[in-house]
């Protein structure tokens, strides 16, 4: 164990959230809950990135009063990365939800095991 | 070139026999070897029924999820393994995190000269007060261009997935015929409370979204957040007043043209660097005074383009989920 | 600010765990919505207001609305309809043709 676990509590929370989302993805049989688990994993990654860019005692990267020194602002790169990531995650979840709707129309079920059983029976 | 033989003479040659045997026209053993005539295969209906029954029984036994012991065992094993794996992953990540540099520390490998450059010379090079906007729309503008295209492609894919398509004769597709195109039966129509609230809220939400887009280079915000806010306002309007009102100003054609013009404008605005020697940091467009609304060169129009694409995409997602089209 | 951040992170974990254990799909979507809202508060604590605005509009607004529409499409929110149908089916009342309309 390294020395920084309690100082890095934000990253630790991000790791725990990631694992909760991953467990959801593995163990839930309901497709909607799987999608929510994937979204939670997304958020965990964003939280991790933002925590990496955060610097205590500095303000958001918006120039105020003409001050352009590095000592005044936090790291702007993670913010830019996460900003684009959040919008992409919406389109990913919309795509997954539309696939879920198609699956429900075809198999009348949201349970992945049931869908797999029906698929096997059809492929006799 | 060989001469062509008459037919009778040819029938006696070896080549004729060989090729006719090759093509299955003649069986050389037919008169020479004694053979039993083949019986025609008769399908016994009883036997066939029994076979089918056995087949069904096997399938039922194999896919009997509730009583299949091996399957149950496998499920238990799968659950236990996945929980163990996740705990292992969590422990691994936590150990890694405990070795990372402390949160909030100023000296980290993450805070290298790239971010220092963005902060120190971002204002004078891009003219944007908001360093994040200057970064994603000027230094890394191609990244954002790809991002907008991701949204566009996602809309197209959802449209393919959810479209209530008909074939040329006007019959519905058998795959989607169970989908009820009109799922608003059980919803209250012309809900007075919702409509009154929407009349007050929708203009405020949309004006707030426009403010966020136009102020993207001056404060927090930008194309992505403002576009999402405008999309949410449009969704509220659609919920309150129905499709007949929104179709007056937003149809498939509107979406197509807005996306086309925004994306191609973005493309053209950022691809001039190909002609000016790939150094697009020194643009011909004046920067203006930092802090004024008309400043920072191309960032404001690019913000507007991205905002239009995002707003249309958000509204289009909702409309497609509701009725399978715009 | 640190105490506030720790409270918010605890809320995040509670939300994420209760999403997995809630039986009702509608409940889990609502909990996910609150997860996004807590997340957008956390972005402000981490000094990135751009992300806060985007997360509030996108995560708590549009993603949840898309989830609700999906639940409606797959008839997961049909408790009210079912009770309505049961009450109507007891008395020999209107034809089911209304549902095709």
Average pLDDT score over residue span B200-212: 92
- When pLDDT is cut at 50, 70 and 90, the band that residue C94 belongs to is very low
- Asked if residue A2 is part of any domain, the answer here is no
Note the pLDDT of residue C101. 31
CATH number at residue A83: 1.10.287.3510
Average pLDDT score over residue span C71-76: 77
All residues of chain C having their beta carbon less than 8 Å from the beta carbon of residue B183 are 72-73
pLDDT tens for A94-121 read 999 989 888 888 888 888 888 888 887 7
A-proximal residues of C, 28-87, CB under 8 Å: 28-29, 32, 35-36, 39, 42-43, 46-51, 54-55, 58-59, 62-63, 66-67, 70-71, 73-74, 76
- Asked if residue A18 is part of any domain, the answer here is yes
Note the pLDDT of residue B81. 93
**DSSP category for residue A4:** -
- Asked if residue A109 is part of any domain, the answer here is yes
Note the pLDDT of residue B207. 93
By C-alpha distance, the chain B residue nearest C77 is B186
Total structural domains in chain A?
1
Q: Please name the residue that has the structure tokens 């991953």.
A: A22
List of chains touching A (3+ CB pairs within 8 A)? B, C
**To the nearest 10°, the Cα dihedral for A72, A78, A79, A81?**
150
- Asked if residue A3 is part of any domain, the answer here is no
What range defines the domain where residue A116 resides?
9-122
pLDDT tens for B68-111 read 778 788 889 999 999 999 999 999 999 988 888 888 777 778 78
All residues of chain A having their beta carbon less than 8 Å from the beta carbon of residue B178 are 105
For an interface test with A, give the residue of C8, C74, C77 to mutate (most A CBs within 10 A).
C74
Asked if C19 is an interface residue toward chain A (Cβ–Cβ < 8 A), one would say yes
- Asked if residue A70 is part of any domain, the answer here is yes
Put simply, the answer to whether B220 touches C99 (Cβ < 8 Å) is no
By C-alpha distance, the chain C residue nearest B313 is C62
Predicted model pTM: 0.80
CA-derived radius of gyration, chain C: 19
> Which range among B25-29, B63-67, B211-215, B256-260 shows the weakest confidence by mean pLDDT?
B63-67
pLDDT tens for A34-56 read 999 999 999 999 999 988 888 88
pLDDT for B37 beyond 90: no
pLDDT tens for B151-186 read 889 988 888 888 776 666 666 665 555 555 555 555
Residues in chain A: 124
Put simply, the answer to whether C50 touches B212 (Cβ < 8 Å) is no
- Asked if residue A95 is part of any domain, the answer here is yes
Among C53, C58, C73, the residue with its CB nearest the CB of B221 is C53
> Which range among B214-218, B257-261, C7-11 shows the weakest confidence by mean pLDDT?
B214-218
Percent of chain B whose predicted confidence (pLDDT) is above 70: 83
Decide if A32 contacts C28 (C-beta within 8 A). Answer: yes
Compute the C-alpha angle C11/C16/C19, nearest 5°: 120
Note the pLDDT of residue C1. 66
- Asked if residue A77 is part of any domain, the answer here is yes
Token reading at C61:
């607004």
**DSSP category for residue A62:** B
Comparison of pLDDT for B317 and B246, the residue scoring more: B317
């Amino acid at each position: 164990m390294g020395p920084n676990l309690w100082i890095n509590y934000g990253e630790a929370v991000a790791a725990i959230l990631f694992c909760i989302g991953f467990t959801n993805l593995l163990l839930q049989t309901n497709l909607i809950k799987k999608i929510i688990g994937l979204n939670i994993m997304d958020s965990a990654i964003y939280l991790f990135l933002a925590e990496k860019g955060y610097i205590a005692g500095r303000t958001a990267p918006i120039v105020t009063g003409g001050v352009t020194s590095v000592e005044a602002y936090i790291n702007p790169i993670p913010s830019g990365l996460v900003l684009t990531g959040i919008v992409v995650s919406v389109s990913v979840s919309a795509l997954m939800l539309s696939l879920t709707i198609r699956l429900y129309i075809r198999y009348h079920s949201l349970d992945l095991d049931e869908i797999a059983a029906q698929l096997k029976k059809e492929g006799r | 070139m060989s001469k062509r033989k008459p037919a009778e003479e040819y029938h006696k040659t070896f080549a004729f026999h060989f090729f006719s045997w090759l093509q299955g026209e003649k069986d050389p053993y037919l008169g020479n070897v004694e053979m039993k005539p083949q019986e025609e295969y008769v399908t016994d209906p009883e036997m066939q029924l029994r076979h089918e029954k056995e087949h069904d029984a096997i399938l039922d036994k194999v896919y009997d999820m509730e009583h299949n012991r091996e399957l149950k065992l496998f499920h238990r094993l799968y659950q236990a393994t996945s929980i163990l794996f996740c705990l292992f992953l969590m422990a691994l990540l936590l150990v890694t995190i405990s070795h990372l540099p402390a949160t909030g520390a100023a000296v980290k490998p993450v805070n290298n000269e790239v971010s220092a450059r963005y902060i120190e010379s971002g204002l004078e090079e891009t003219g944007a007060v908001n360093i994040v906007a200057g970064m994603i729309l000027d230094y890394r503008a191609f990244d954002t261009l790809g991002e907008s295209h991701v949204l566009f492609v996602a809309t197209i894919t959802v449209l393919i997935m959810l479209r209530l398509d008909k074939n040329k004769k006007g019959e519905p597709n058998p795959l989607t015929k169970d989908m009820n195109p009109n799922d608003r039966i059980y919803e209250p129509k012309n809900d007075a409370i919702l409509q009154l609230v929407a009349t007050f809220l929708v203009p405020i939400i949309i004006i707030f979204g426009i403010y966020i887009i136009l102020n993207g280079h001056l404060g927090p915000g930008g194309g992505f957040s403002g576009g999402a806010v405008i999309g949410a306002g449009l969704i509220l309007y659609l919920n309150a007043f129905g499709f007949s009102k929104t179709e007056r100003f937003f149809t498939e054609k509107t979406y197509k043209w807005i996306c086309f013009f925004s994306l191609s404008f973005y493309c053209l605005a950022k691809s001039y660097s190909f002609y000016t020697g790939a150094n697009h940091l020194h643009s011909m467009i004046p920067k203006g005074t930092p802090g004024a609304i008309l400043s920072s060169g191309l960032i404001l129009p690019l913000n507007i383009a991205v905002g239009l694409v995002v707003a249309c995409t958000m509204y289009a997602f909702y409309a497609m989920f509701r009725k399978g089209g715009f | 600010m640190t105490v506030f951040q720790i409270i918010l992170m605890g809320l995040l974990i509670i939300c994420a765990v209760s999403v997995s254990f809630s039986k009702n799909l509608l409940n889990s979507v609502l909990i996910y919505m609150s997860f996004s809202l807590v997340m957008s508060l956390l972005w402000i604590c981490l000094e990135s207001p751009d992300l806060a605005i985007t997360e509030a509009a996108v995560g708590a607004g549009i993603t949840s609305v898309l989830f609700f529409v999906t639940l409606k499409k797959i008839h997961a929110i049909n408790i009210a309809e079912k009770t309505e149908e049961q009450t109507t089916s007891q008395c020999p009342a209107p034809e089911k043709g209304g549902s095709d309309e």
